[in-house]
Amino acid sequence: MDFSFSEEHVALRQTVRRHMEEEAAPHVRHSDESETFPKHLFSRWGELGMLGARYPEEDGGVGMDKISDCIIREEIARISQAYCAAFSAHSHLGMWPIWRSGTKMQREEYFKPAVAGKKIACFGLSEPDGGSDIRAMKTRAEKVEGGWKITGSKLYITNAPIADFITLAARTKPDLSADAVSLFLVDLPARGLTIDNLKKEGLRGSETGLLHIDDLFVPDSHLLGEKEGTYPTILESLSENRVGVSASVLGLARGAYEEALQFAKTRIVRGKPIIDYQAVANRLADMTTDIEASRWMVYWGAWKVDQGTLTDAEASKIKLVASEAALRITENAIRIMGGAGIMRDHRVGMHHRDALVYVIGEGTSDIQRNIIARALKKGQLID
């Protein structure tokens, strides 16, 4: 059993950390205030190979591994979880299904430019009536001459207002069976599809859309894999992404912890730094313990992805632990910093708002518990 990162992993962490501190951090305050994402980061992330870390070189990726992808996400989110949400919606949710199930043409036209950061991707699954419950999906694709006509709506779609294409889920059969849900690749903007930019309390530095879809024509060649029934690909993709998302909430928790720790060492109250008060020190002790616990689960999960052995329940356990821990850690950071924690010239408030999104997005904590409980009923035990 070897728990250490390889030299390549350590070098990657340093590269991404430096990039985020020098090139991305200066934009974070403006992004949060203006609710905009600095699009140029995608081309930079493409140049640095960050978007393709976990994809093979023959597909335009960098051929590293899931552990590398998690290191990248942890470092992005340490500076801005909103930026990491944009990264995740693009490099995993939008791109992964194409890499996994796309035709040669779809990989050339969508995956390769996306991995280079030349096209921005988003992923449309959730709907006004179907967030937790994918099978409640109402968006319908009807077969017409030469393609499909899609009608429906998609809610809370990260990157939609800035994206060049969407990997869009729609029901190609009226029934609720698994093979009734398919994915389509749709260039944006598109006739028959309008996007409202949503205002949010968290992840304000990423852009999120509500999509109205009315008689949108999509040619046959843009049905993912030119095959109906990609529901299993979606589930597989969501499961793997729970590990990546957990790496990002670990990163945002670290960002908040580091700021609070620094503050606690330098803030003097009654003649001594507040870290010398046991109540403050104990909070910091809880925070660093939570971070270590999340970190081990996240990188164990990434290792399992690389081995091809990650189960849905394991992915859900990791997401549940990491996201709930991040919420506690960011709240503790604000408490430690007192009034300063509420002020916008510090980052802990933003990290806390962003942490809240992650007990909801990518499957709420209740849904993670349902997945874990389902596995228990099936008799899946801890190895």
Ligand X SMILES: Cc1cc2nc3c(=O)[nH]c(=O)nc-3n(C[C@H](O)[C@H](O)[C@H](O)COP(=O)(O)OP(=O)(O)OC[C@H]3O[C@@H](n4cnc5c(N)ncnc54)[C@H](O)[C@@H]3O)c2cc1C
Give catalytic residues, as residue numbers: 362
Shortest distance (Å) from residue 268 CB to ligand X: 38
Rounded-to-integer distance, Cα 65 and Cα 277, Å: 43
By CB under 6 A, tell whether 280 contacts ligand X: no
Shortest distance (Å) from residue 119 CB to ligand X: 16
Shortest distance (Å) from residue 331 CB to ligand X: 19
Near ligand X by CB under 6 A, which window of 67-75, 229-237, 327-335, 356-364? 356-364
Shortest distance (Å) from residue 238 CB to ligand X: 9
By CB under 6 A, tell whether 358 contacts ligand X: no
Shortest distance (Å) from residue 290 CB to ligand X: 22
By CB under 6 A, tell whether 203 contacts ligand X: yes
Near ligand X by CB under 6 A, which window of 73-81, 122-130, 240-248, 293-301? 122-130
**Got the DSSP string for 44-92?**
HHHHTT-TTTTS-GGGTS----HHHHHHHHHHHHHH-HHHHHHHHIIII
By CB under 6 A, tell whether 208 contacts ligand X: yes
Rounded-to-integer distance, Cα 197 and Cα 149, Å: 24
Rounded-to-integer distance, Cα 205 and Cα 334, Å: 20
Do 200 and 35 contact (CB within 8 A), yes or no?
Answer: yes
Burial of 11 (0-12, 13-18, 19+ CB in 10 A): exposed
Please identify, using beta-carbon distances, which residue of 68 and 208 lies nearer to ligand X.
208
Shortest distance (Å) from residue 303 CB to ligand X: 26
By CB under 6 A, tell whether 364 contacts ligand X: yes
Please identify, using beta-carbon distances, which residue of 340 and 367 lies nearer to ligand X.
367
Residue 113 CB-half CA count within 13 A: 13
Please identify, using beta-carbon distances, which residue of 151 and 370 lies nearer to ligand X.
370
Do 122 and 94 contact (CB within 8 A), yes or no?
Answer: yes
Rounded-to-integer distance, Cα 113 and Cα 70, Å: 22
Write the binding mask 151 to 170 for ligand X: x where contact by CB under 6 A, - elsewhere: -----xxx------------
Please identify, using beta-carbon distances, which residue of 283 and 352 lies nearer to ligand X.
352
By CB under 6 A, tell whether 235 contacts ligand X: no
Please identify, using beta-carbon distances, which residue of 92 and 347 lies nearer to ligand X.
92
Hey, is 328 helix, strand or coil? helix
By CB under 6 A, tell whether 132 contacts ligand X: yes
Which alpha helices (DSSP H) does the chain contain, by range?
Answer: 7-19, 25-34, 40-47, 66-79, 81-88, 96-101, 104-106, 112-115, 231-266, 278-307, 312-337, 339-342, 348-357, 365-377
By CB under 6 A, tell whether 370 contacts ligand X: yes
Residues forming contacts to ligand X in the complex (CB under 6 A) are: 89, 93, 123-126, 131-132, 156-158, 200, 203, 208, 357, 360-364, 366-367, 370
